[in-house]
Amino acid sequence: MIGILIPAHNEEEWLDDCLRAALRAAGNSLLAGEPVEILVVLDSCTDRSAHIVSQYPVQALSIEARNVGQARAIGAQTLLERGARWISCSDADSRVAEDWLVAQLGLGTDAVCGTVTVDRWQDGFDEAAQIRYHRDYRACDGHRHIHGANLGVSAQAYVRAGGFQPLSCDEDVQLVRQLERSGASIAWSHRPQVITSARLDNRARGGFGDYLRQLAQTE
């Protein structure tokens, strides 16, 4: 079984598109019928996120941690207990490509760090900021970006590395560093495609949204 792990904290604006995309990826014929379980970890949600998730053929787990690292860790452990051999992580404000799982698994490594494509630049992120972003972001194989929105890891490598830590941000970076220290093979690939939001009111301080905000504020 393949697991898709999506943490969510008050994501009612994005969840419909996120889950539709994840279900398309889960149904890709090139997976040869292997079961795919999508798990949304609803962390301290006070909006309509839980209701939206209930309308889709996915699993939901509600927690009260307000901590993305803990949400990912609990979700990953749940998927492992259900028999997942591979865990693909994304975010609730992101849309994975239809061949996302196929692309991750086809790389034949212990873990995959993918890139992201920003969807519709927000107000406050002017042309100069967009130029700065594209100048610094390497959307190609061999990049060194780490995104929780586009990360995959085998069950064995995840356990060997010690799993996600309960960090309020950079839990994805920490896991990849642990994977490197444990000797895991990692593909830094542009093949698995994910579109993510350019929102500046991000949920996790210190994450991708904060990076975009810093670029927007640079003179």
Mean pLDDT of 22-38: 98
Q: Which amino acid is at 43?
A: D
Q: Is the pLDDT at 211 greater than 60, yes or no?
A: no
Rounded Cα distance, 108 and 50, in Å:
35
Confidence (pLDDT) at 197: 84
Find, among 201, 172, 168, the residue nearest to 13 by Cα: 201
Rounded Cα distance, 53 and 40, in Å:
8
Beta bridge partners of 87: 3, 153
Domain ranges of the chain: 2-217
Confidence (pLDDT) at 212: 57
Q: What percent of the chain has pLDDT over 70?
A: 84
What confidence tens digit (pLDDT) does each residue in 36-82 have?
999 999 999 999 999 999 999 999 999 999 999 999 999 999 999 99
Average of per-residue pLDDT values in the chain: 91
What confidence tens digit (pLDDT) does each residue in 162-210 have?
999 999 999 999 999 999 999 999 999 999 999 998 665 555 555 665 5
Confidence (pLDDT) at 132: 76
Compare 207 and 128 and report the one with higher pLDDT.
Answer: 128
CATH superfamily of 2-217: Spore Coat Polysaccharide Biosynthesis Protein SpsA; Chain A (3.90.550.10)
- CB 93 within 8 Å of CB 197: yes
Beta bridge partners of 4: 38, 88
Q: Is the pLDDT at 134 greater than 90, yes or no?
A: no
Confidence (pLDDT) at 184: 98
